Structure 1
């Protein structure tokens, strides 16, 4: 449809959700401007260079339970670069040592107690307690607020501590006891009602996923998704403004236009430069609620904390003993482990063949994740360490987790990437709060919001939610204009 002055939109936030929102609006004929406070577009889908290798510095895969991301990549010309991880599988690191992770179930919830991997990490009493799940009425746990509460009441503490907590904490950085059930595990509550047990619900979710690997990646790194989105927006003449920190949003009561009050990140010079009829806020939760809070009823503005700080330590090491991938594609670490401070390790050169090919024989890339939320057992948080200290800690933790010797002499290169708030913090009641926020936002004309804090963690959730939200928003704008 032809552009008109009324069809203008500002997208505040240049992460993947913001870029997707801009793309949909541009395809619908809007004249779009993307505003991002950082110099980098793409948010946590980013890259860094280490030992002449371009690697992902944030997200390095996407879930294949839905074709929505694969379809997007195909649309962007990246279909031929989609790759599956090697079949080594992941491991768990528990107080008793390293164990292969079960291959059945969902989010660590076992779908079968006959799985040998499940029997390795649960003792006899733990298995017997877990099996009560199939005897309990479906009503038990039906009103659980958190994922941890549901698992504990139906399967017991061993399943929660040895299976679910390492998996969930590795993904969400927070313990399942504080994570909102319906946000981090959508469909699980309904699955319990439908199938009568948590194990059956987990097995059904697993079976519903496409055959093959649960995740996929891009040869050369997921960072190419951000680059392809930016290139596509440039082709559609979307304006992209970086280095501007928006401190407030005003709305003209007469025209209804939205105006961004900005502050240059480098000079703190305030300017009022950008206005549009429509506004999409694609930022983290604290920024979105701060920006939009004055335009909404106080009762509809959720008190949502920023996600925790995470430090990713990437190491390039020369250690031929790792050629055999002794811990598969990586490990998720139980929070009950006291000898290792990392919460997860990815053996990138064992997981992705393209990385192994570019690194060469005997050279390996491992990435460790630090930043446990609510851990008061240590005198200092890992993320408070300097980069050099984190590299030293990472080398020690990697040796312990992988079961090989790793010395400073074997370290070829290292890098530390820190992310603040990149992963949402969906505590109990989160979904109820976001639904109330979106309902109130729907009463305002010409504005909507998207992002991981509203959609849930992961590219599938973000992509699906952004498409649906922006398609509805665009249709409403066109309908309102037709009526006027």
Structure 2
């Protein structure tokens, strides 16, 4: 048995930051992680002798919190912008168009000339009329309802829904606007226009230019630096430690794991929502079990297939930095990144005419049946419209329950979880609390750091 001030369950970024907060209060910390490594959804994979990101490959530049963390870790000089930002939306086998400047398909200006090739004249006229209307009640609306009310259904179907399905793994019709795009809602209330709100968000980015950035050498280098910092602060990581049960005894928490028992005064659960529910319901409390009985977890599965491809036709980067696909496209994947088109450091590491393509599967959390590599091999020529591809290597990365669906029912469950945790004096953190993405996780971290 090991005794410590605080046990943190989960060594993803949320758990590592929770451990960092605890050390700032002078607590001793043990982090329990069921996998053999830290980092959660930020993890590398080796393909063609190159280590690249197999999870999160970029971060949003729309806020300062993640940049603050990079500064504290001494990684500011490693920030890189994409060498191109011309991803496409693939709406059908014959219809492909660029993503307009803005926020997640919401344009920063209705006068953007690219919109004329995407939205009909009637649709643009309707959007101008709708976005000039007074802002009504926004509480409880979905992203799709918000955009339809302010810009019309064409913008939902052709721009916003494909982007949200690709980025969040869920339809804009099911995602809560309040939970998914809170900054955009605040800007909408201030400006009275959804397009002006998108423009304000883009203009307020701490780093000018692209809406995302990454780290030279991969986002996974962040995990190595954060892990090194925590170890220097005497945080102990117990890997391959799957938690079997958690019980509270005499104001102490006892975590039984595959690596033995850990006893602590304080407990943090920094996992996905499914694991958090499992841990809380394992507590020796009938009240907790009753409160969280038959929970619906509101998280979706994602799988990535990464292909190392030799093709001269891909040298022209036919889809720019990648694509987001609507349900009417002729491929099963929901999104794709042409990795070396987007990131210069990857392009420099590859031999001539070699390319790395990421294909993402799991639209609305439903993974296709069958072999994903075979499916990716079928999708590649259809999506990129090439016929000279030689695939030298392929890897699959599964991320079960990795994307939280911030719907209205999910918000109710989140509140139930938080109320239960508060009764037990348990700290909860993770994407279902802060929102998907590193920006939300780090914003939540610094808010908790504030007395």
The yes-or-no answer on 1:385 pairing with 2:381 is: no
CA separation in 2, counterparts of 1:356 and 1:350?
7
CA separation in 1, counterparts of 2:344 and 2:44?
18
Deviates more, 1:12-21 or 1:431-440: 431-440
User: What are the within-5 Å matches in structure 2 for residues 155-304 of structure 1?
Assistant: 155-210=151-206, 211-252=208-249, 254=250, 256-263=251-258, 271=260, 273-293=261-281, 303-304=295-296
**CA displacement at 1:208 relative to structure 2:** 2.0
Match of 1:418 in 2: 398
Deviation above 6 Å: which 4+ runs of structure 1?
Answer: none
Aligned residue for 1:87, secondary structure, equals coil
Asked whether the 8 Å contact 1:47–1:57 carries over to 2, the reply is yes
**CA displacement at 1:199 relative to structure 2:** 2.2
User: What are the within-5 Å matches in structure 2 for residues 30-179 of structure 1?
Assistant: 30-95=27-92, 96-103=94-101, 105-139=102-136, 142-179=138-175
In structure 2, relative to structure 1, the CA distance for the partners of 1:374 and 1:281 (3 Å cut) is closer
Asked whether the 8 Å contact 2:4–2:30 carries over to 1, the reply is no
CA separation in 1, counterparts of 2:435 and 2:293?
18
Aligned residue for 1:21, secondary structure, equals helix
Q: Provide the aligned C-alpha RMSD in A.
A: 2.3
User: What are the within-5 Å matches in structure 2 for residues 312-327 of structure 1?
Assistant: 312-327=304-319
Asked whether the 8 Å contact 1:302–1:433 carries over to 2, the reply is no
Asked whether the 8 Å contact 2:87–2:322 carries over to 1, the reply is yes
CA separation in 2, counterparts of 1:241 and 1:434?
28
**CA displacement at 1:319 relative to structure 2:** 1.2
Aligned mate of 1:364, from 355, 362, 377: 355
CA separation in 1, counterparts of 2:240 and 2:383?
40
Aligned mate of 1:438, from 418, 434, 441: 418
Asked whether the 8 Å contact 1:11–1:35 carries over to 2, the reply is yes
CA separation in 1, counterparts of 2:39 and 2:10?
9
CA separation in 2, counterparts of 1:37 and 1:217?
27
Aligned residue for 1:397, secondary structure, equals helix
Aligned mate of 1:401, from 370, 383, 386: 383
Match of 1:329 in 2: 321
Aligned mate of 1:427, from 407, 411, 419: 407
**CA displacement at 1:196 relative to structure 2:** 2.0
**CA displacement at 1:233 relative to structure 2:** 1.6
In structure 2, relative to structure 1, the CA distance for the partners of 1:149 and 1:57 (3 Å cut) is same
**CA displacement at 1:88 relative to structure 2:** 4.0
CA separation in 2, counterparts of 1:455 and 1:374?
20
**CA displacement at 1:460 relative to structure 2:** 0.9
Deviates more, 1:5-14 or 1:205-214: 5-14
Match of 2:339 in 1: 348
Aligned mate of 1:9, from 6, 11, 19: 6
Asked whether the 8 Å contact 2:62–2:201 carries over to 1, the reply is no
CA separation in 2, counterparts of 1:23 and 1:406?
50
- If the length of structure 1 is used for normalisation, what is the TM-score? 0.86
CA separation in 2, counterparts of 1:335 and 1:65?
28
In structure 2, relative to structure 1, the CA distance for the partners of 1:305 and 1:128 (3 Å cut) is same
Gaps of 5+ in 2: none
Asked whether the 8 Å contact 2:165–2:172 carries over to 1, the reply is yes
**CA displacement at 1:106 relative to structure 2:** 1.6
**CA displacement at 1:127 relative to structure 2:** 1.7
Asked whether the 8 Å contact 1:113–1:119 carries over to 2, the reply is no
**CA displacement at 1:361 relative to structure 2:** 2.3
Asked whether the 8 Å contact 2:84–2:341 carries over to 1, the reply is no
Match of 2:297 in 1: 305
In structure 2, relative to structure 1, the CA distance for the partners of 1:189 and 1:73 (3 Å cut) is closer
Asked whether the 8 Å contact 1:301–1:437 carries over to 2, the reply is no
CA separation in 2, counterparts of 1:425 and 1:79?
31
Aligned residue for 1:125, secondary structure, equals helix
CA separation in 1, counterparts of 2:125 and 2:293?
45
CA separation in 2, counterparts of 1:120 and 1:37?
49
Q: What is the CA deviation profile of residues 366-407 of structure 1, one whole-angstrom value per residue up to 9, with x for unaligned ones?
A: 1010111177xxxxx52x322xxx223223322222232243
In structure 2, relative to structure 1, the CA distance for the partners of 1:116 and 1:400 (3 Å cut) is farther
Asked whether the 8 Å contact 1:182–1:431 carries over to 2, the reply is no
Q: What is the CA deviation profile of residues 62-100 of structure 1, one whole-angstrom value per residue up to 9, with x for unaligned ones?
A: 111123222222322322221111134211111242211
Aligned residue for 2:55, secondary structure, equals coil
CA separation in 2, counterparts of 1:133 and 1:34?
51
Match of 2:19 in 1: 22
Number of aligned pairs? 444
